[in-house]
Structure 1
Amino acid sequence: MPMSFLNDKSFSNKTISLVYRLQKSSIPSALSFKLIGAISGIWPIKELNDCPLLYHSSAVLCVDGQTELRIIVEDKRVIVYLTHKLSKHFISPNIAASIQECLTLTLEAVLTFYLSSIGKSYRIMNVSNLFQIEIGEICDRSPCVVSISKAVNASNWVCDKGIDHDTKCSRLWFFDKAQKECQSNCTGLDKTVLTKTPTDKHLARLAKQLSINKCKELVLYLGIEETEWEEIEYVHQKQPLIMKFMALKKKPFKSFNDLLKAQEDIKDGRHLLCKVFREDTDLVDIADVRLQDIPHDDVLNGLSKHLGNCAILLGIELGITITSIEETMTRHPRDMYLQNEDILKKWKSSKQVTPTIYRLMLAVERVYSGGLSYLTDIYLGQ
């Protein structure tokens, strides 16, 4: 893999690293492909100018439109870089943890298979003792990592180059995905994130966490008029989640800091903004290379009949712009099936990311409006 990406000085500010160090033996080159193969069954190999970025013992994978994953398998070391286009503070903790879990389980399976193939007894051996996991950041064009215990038990560490590294982002590799609320020591969003503008996806996920009354209190504080709230409430009275999203969308935000300040001023101390960066990763367990294909038009047409009244939220989760979503709603004002069908067609024709079945399943799962079992039966059914 060309390592020129390390020359970009901003790369270190956007990346967290994970390193597996083997204690005794190197990974056979043939088996190293199993690591890349396992993870590429969930997230596809990135393409540049229609060429897959797949190299000998290394690859670049596309997690989403903003996040990339690099895997480099060396003689006694596996290096993993997870990069967000804006900042490492935007990396989803659930995604980072899922990648780590997938790679760790696969590495254990690879080592078990390798030991058995050369006649060694592995049944009484804990293969996890054959490698050490270290986590960290990027420093001077290379991974700067420490042991898990050191990262977990300290807020920072000073590396051999005398650079002070914060452990907050590095610990994302071992985020507890079952955790519903932030821990008591959570300091909230980093100042780098607070200066950024929330996307429609962020606002939709915030809306889901707010009650109608709390949402009204928040948006009125932010400056929309009572009459504007009443109009939104009237139009979307049967769809409370969409009503809350449209109310939040009504007032343009300059930054997450605007939302945080408003939330504090209305005496809502919950870490709601932290949670908008979390992703559902339940589907990782059933991910399959078949799900990296692009869904057929007939399947999308059938799916639209299995979804409820969710065109707006579905479009947001699929990355469709709100302007394009509104155009769909105007074109098909009274037919939710045609709305869903049009949104799905727009998504499939999008060039931002490859419209895979897996990405579609993630979005459908997120809007909680049916359709997931339909896709599962078609693509994973026996």
Structure 2
Amino acid sequence: MWRNLPFDLLANIFSLLSPDTLARARSACRHWNMCANASYTAPVGTCRQPPWLVALPTRHRGLFCYAHNPIIDKWHVLPLDFVPDPVRPIAPIRGLILLRHTSTTTLQLAICNPFTRQYKTLPMLIIARTNPAVGLIELGPSPTQHVLCPYFLVYVAGGMSEASGGSGASYEATLEMYDSRHNTWQVIGPMPMEFAVRLTVWTPNESVYSNGVLYWMTSARAYSVMGFEIGTNIWRELSVPMADRLEFAALVPRNKKLVLIGGVCRGDAFVWELGEDGAWNSIGKVPFELGVRFLGGNGSWGMTKCVGIDGEVWLYRDLGSGMVVWREDWEKGRWEWNWVEGCCFIRGKQVHKFPIKGVVLHPNLAPSYMLNI
């Protein structure tokens, strides 16, 4: 029966499979492999399989990463020996990961697919920068390229650059943009020096794009949010609820909206959503029992990291410790909090605790034509 199914129907069935099941199916024969690749052409948002967490060590411990399969609640180790230098993840681009090299202080970006072992270094920026803020906007398949080529823009703001005249490094109050369709950078224009300084000194690389604005969280207490309006090139600053009391604060997307999660010392971790009026609205908090379990009696949220995509948010600390996941349940039509054990053993071999940086993505097993350019 299966061999007689039309190509498009079989591809649609494959689009409903989890990545590990799909990997086994595509190895059956050439026809199934072609159908499996075609299954990735489904529109973004139609996938009902939960995304995976992919975690890379924040310190040099060899070229590898760890991935959590939510279907069977199991951790896997993936070698990154095809990547030439140590890297750290910035953001997911569908099944790809935007990375930055850690072997150089000057920003150098790359993209890779750890599941298909594909890698590509992006061109160097027009202005060499150290420690700028990086923002990503994913715009779907390129209208002029193969459907498996994601179309995205990367914005780089601020950072330190060598001043003209050899007078040393200075803050770079300009913004650059990378367009994946043309594989080129261009300088968008100037930015306020105050924003350039704060984005350089106090901002991690994570960004969230929502309703035409790129947002970054500044990590200095009191916390605040920097925003760049794409259409008008206008910079703005947003206050943060309980800003002077939060031990950690992070931005994540949720249903195309901007969400802020922050924890108070010996207290709860709260969740707010930015409304259309520019005000933060409380939409929940981490359940007390999960919070106590996550903190392990320490009571401090200070070392907490947070990462997410539409449909899922993770709170974590290191690879071996338990993690809290806020996930949308498609069948029940609501968001639920869950517990995931950290990665302590893989195939019976112990994995020691160490700091990690994670991204959440839907694994893509189809080869990306973009990474072969």
TM-score (norm 2): 0.28
TM-score (norm 1): 0.28
Larger helix proportion of the pair: 1
Larger strand proportion of the pair: 2
Q: Which has the larger radius of gyration?
A: 1
